[in-house]
Chain A
């Protein structure tokens, strides 16, 4: 999905604030999103991709105003509600106030059935397609050409895994782009490598 989470290259954000000697967690509730998320993964109720997608499905204003662990908690709570384990009303009663959840998911996608493999050093084209579900192809590379630098082992295709569908195992490719090919005002002598599932790639013309 071309969602609010797909932030690479978005303008308008200011300086990065680094905290010295930062603790792993700042508040004692913060581990709960991870812990309860892993709990559901351990029960095979969902995948890590479904948690990521639930976070992406948050209402954009909420996404942008929430801290990282609040986003994670919201994604995981949404999955428990969608699973039917608990209702949003129960959560609101327990929390004593509104408990916003992710918006509903759209259908998932299957990986391409046709096997097209690529070699290290080959120039490839990132597919110029749009998909409202879980997608690990950041929009800043859509339709762009890059060079394969490495082939990683097969992993479940995110477009299916993010929706709880059986996912085809597909290799992912490290594809290097010149930053200038992605943004005309990008800085000199810089490149970006994106890890892309085979289905996101096509032979370059």
Chain B
């Protein structure tokens, strides 16, 4: 059987990427350092550490927590986190009986300013296809085994709302500094496939 024409004899993807860049540069369409600046922002400014600071703030300041619940976009902006793919942020509050988890089944939308660019597994067909239908099994496979009595609520990012999970504060962290609390919050915790571990 021969390969379908769509995928046979393709130029390597790196060369395709450079070809587009070269073609646009030849037309003077790319401002100086444009690609470098975007790369820098993506690697450093959009960072799950930002979301971790939002969660830590909510854990220590009940008024901030309330603002985060009612207007997460503004609450995140208070801490300096806003920008593209963060135009309308909603914080999903876990409780003793509810666990939230985020996906984008249609592409890979994520709240960049607070979660950072998503990891490869979030963009995988496996996660996008499975988590809506078999969330408990997927979470268990990823190392999060939740009791049957906890409802799992999966949030499919299909329009412009961008989500972050607000996990329950772990026991044994009383009196911890915000920085120490923030260190418990990983990108996977903010997506909802892990819990903060003390």
- Seen from chain A, the residues whose Cβ lies within 8 Å of a Cβ on chain B are 5-19, 22, 24-27, 29-36, 38-39, 52, 55-56, 59, 61-62, 64-70, 73-74, 76-77, 80, 85-86, 90-92, 94-100, 136-138, 140, 150, 152-153, 155, 158, 172, 174, 176, 179, 182-183, 185-197
Complex CA–CA separation, A203 to B150 (angstroms):
31
- Shortest CB distance A57–B (Å): 12
Tally B residues with Cβ within 8 Å of A.
Answer: 73
* B135 A62 Cβ-Cβ under 8 A: no
Check if A35 sits within 8 Å of B124, measured CB to CB. Answer: no
Bound together, the chains give a CA A158 to CA B143 distance in angstroms of: 36
Q: Tell me if A138 and B11 are in contact (CB < 8 A).
A: no
- Total contacts A to B, CB within 8 angstroms? 249
Question: Which residue numbers of B lie inside 8 Å of A, CB to CB?
Answer: 4, 6-24, 27, 29-30, 34-35, 38-39, 42-43, 88, 90, 103, 105-108, 116-117, 119-121, 123-130, 132-138, 141-142, 148-161, 188
> Are A22 and B120 neighbours in the complex by a CB distance under 8 Å?
yes
Closest to A70 in B: B13
Chain A residue numbers with a CB within 8 Å of B141 are 15-16
Give the nearest-CB partner of A149 in chain B.
Answer: B153
B19 in contact with A68 (CB, 8 Å):
no
Provide the bound-state CA to CA distance between A12 and B125, in Å: 10
Q: Does the CB pair B129–A10 fall under 8 Å?
A: yes
In the complex, what residue of chain A is closest to B105 when comparing beta carbons?
Answer: A8
Dominant secondary structure at the A interface: mixed
B104 CB → nearest A CB, Å: 9
Q: How far is the CB of B59 from chain A (nearest CB, A)?
A: 23
Partner of B128, one of A7, A65, A137, A176: A7
Contacts of A64 in B (CB 8 A): 125
CB distance from B155 to the nearest CB of A (A): 5
Known contacts A10-B129, A16-B141, A22-B119; decide if A36 and B159 are in contact (CB<8 Å): no
**Whole-angstrom CA separation of A152 from B105 in the bound complex:** 19
Q: Which one of A13, A62, A195 contacts B156 once the chains associate, using CB atoms below 8 Å?
A: A195
Q: Is the CB of B142 within 8 A of A190?
A: no
- The contact sample of 21 A-B pairs, CB cut-off 8 A, is A7-B105, A10-B125, A16-B126, A17-B126, A19-B119, A22-B120, A29-B18, A31-B38, A36-B20, A38-B38, A61-B7, A65-B7, A67-B13, A86-B23, A86-B27, A94-B18, A94-B22, A95-B19, A98-B11, A190-B153, A192-B155
